[in-house]
Copies of this chain bind each other. A is one copy, B any other.
Amino acid sequence: MKECCGLFGIYGDPEAVQKTYFGLHSLQHRGQESAGIASSNTELIQCHKGMGMVRRVFRAGSGILERLSNPIAIGHVRYSTAGASKAINSQPLLAEYSRGQVAVAHNGNLINATLLRDEYQAHGSIFNSTSDTEVIVHLLAKPTHLNRADSLAHVLNHLQGAYCLLFLFADRIEAARDPYGIRPLCIGQTGKGHYVIASESCAFDGVGAKFIREVEPGEIVTLDERGFSSRFFAEPGPAGRITPAHCIFEHIYFAKQNSHIFGENVHEFRKKLGRQLAVEHPADADVVIPVPDSGTSAAIGYAEQSKIPFDMGLVRSHYIGRTFISPDQKLRELEVKLKLAIVEEVVGGKRIVVVDDSIVRGTTTRGKIRTLRQAGAKEIHMRVSCPPLRYPCYYGVDFPTKEELLANNRNLKQIKEFLEVDTVGYMSLDGLLHCATLPADHYCTACWTGKYKIPVDTAVSKFGMERYQMRMFEQEDT
C-alpha cells in the first residue's frame, strides 16, 4: 500500500502516448514495479500495463505504443514494496461505470481507504484489487455523488490522506492534488501549446515542455478541448484554509535533482542542506565524499561551505539491479560491494566526511562504513542531511516499522557506535526548515517529530491494509 509513484498526463498531442512513455521514463525513479498507460481517442479509452520498468512493459518492437496511439493519455509508474507486488494493483485502473469509462492513476496513500472500503462493501460493492484507487472509483460511480453539481470535487472531499490523482475520462483529463499538497504535482506546456501534468517537472524536459506552475493543494485542473481550467474543491475547515503539509522527504530523497517541487529546485535545496550541515556539524577532515547518487548534491554543498575538497570515493555501478542473486549471506555482503565500489586512492589514509541524505535502518550505511575502513580510511565522519527518522509515514512513504528505524530507540552516541563511525552529525529540524523556501509550517515533518498533520487512526490504517492484503492475495506471473 505504502507507495511512491509517478504520474504523467498530456492532452491533445498527436504524440501523446509516445510522450507519456518518455515522461514515465523520466519518472522511473519514482517506481520500478509496474508501469501503465491509458489513452483516449475522445470516445474510447484503451489501457496497457504490466509488471516491470517502462522499457520492459512497452518494449520496443512490440507495437504496443502504436496500438495505444491516441491524443489524450495518462501514465503511471509504481514503486515496489516487498509483499504487495501485484499485477492486479498496477495502474492506471480502467473501469466502466454509469457515465462510461474512466482510467485513474494515483500517487499517495489514503488513510481512510479501509473505512471507505468497509462502508462500500457493506453497501454491496465488490473489489478486485487492494489498491486505494479502486475505492476512489467506487466513490466516483455512486449515484448520489454523480448528482452533485461538481461530483468530482464532492468525491475528493471524502478522501483523507495524500493523493495526487489523474482521471482520464474519454474526453478530458482531470488532475487533483490533496488539500495538504503532500505529494508534488506540476503543470507544464509543450512548445506547441499542449498541456502536460507530471509528478515532477523533470518529466517535462524529455518531452519538450516547460514548467508552468505546481498544481495547488486542493486544486482540480482540467485539460480538455477548451484548454486548461482550474477550480478548488477543498472545503475550508473550521480554522479556515488548510495550511499545506508538503512531504519534505520528497525534497531530500525521492525527487530528481533537476525537478522543481514545492517552490524550488531539488539540487539547489540539497546543496543548501549540505552547507547548513557543514555549519551545524563541521569536521576536521581531508575529503568530503557523497553516498551517490542521493547524497551527491548535499556533499557538494558541504564541501563548498567547509572548504574541504569534494571527491568521489564511492562509485555507483550502473548495472546492478534489484533482481540480484543472493545465494547466501556471505555473497550478499559481496553484493553491496558490487553496487558501491570504493576508490581506495581517494579514501586510503584520509580523514573523510561521508554525506548521505538520510539513514533508515542503518545496516546498509554501516556496511559502507566498514568497506571504507577496509579501504584504509583513517577517520570517518558521517553527516546526514536530515534529522533522525523516528516515526512511520502514513501518507505514502514506505518506511519500515518504527522498531526497525535506527534512530527509534537510540541516542546519538548509540547511533555512532552502531554505525562504527568517528563522529555522526544529523541536520537539525530547524536547520532543515531554515533551508526551505516555504514557511516552516508548510511542510510535513512527521517522520522526525511524530506530529501528523492529518490525524491518523494508526490501528485502522495499518491493520486494515494488512487485512486486505491477506484477504486478497493473488498470484501473478513473474
Contact = CB atoms under 8 A, between A and B. Distances in A.
Interface of A: 15, 18, 21-22, 25-26, 28-29, 32, 44, 46-48, 50, 53-55, 58-62, 64-65, 67-68, 93-98, 100-101, 121-128, 134, 137-138, 140-143, 146, 202, 205-208, 256-258, 265, 267-268, 271, 293, 296-297, 300, 304, 309-312, 315, 317-321, 323-325, 327, 331, 334-335, 337-338, 341-346, 468, 470-478
B474 A127 contact: no
B323 A96 contact: no
Contacts of A122: 98, 143
Nearest to A53: B319
A120 to B, nearest CB: 9
A253 B474 CA distance: 35
Contacts of A342: 205, 258
Nearest to A117: B96
Contact of A338 (B26, B268, B470, B471): B26
B60 A22 contact: no
Given A28-B319, A256-B341, A268-B343, 4 more contacts: A25-B320, A48-B476, A60-B323, A206-B337
A293 B319 CA distance: 13
Please state the number of chain copies in the assembly.
4
A202 B296 CA distance: 22
B96 A28 contact: no
A345 B256 contact: no
Given A258-B315, A327-B18, A321 B95 contact: no
A471 B128 CA distance: 19
Contacts of A26: 317, 338, 341
B471 A96 contact: yes
Contacts of A125: 97, 124-126, 141
B475 A64 contact: yes
B68 A97 contact: no
A258 B342 CA distance: 6
A114 to B, nearest CB: 12
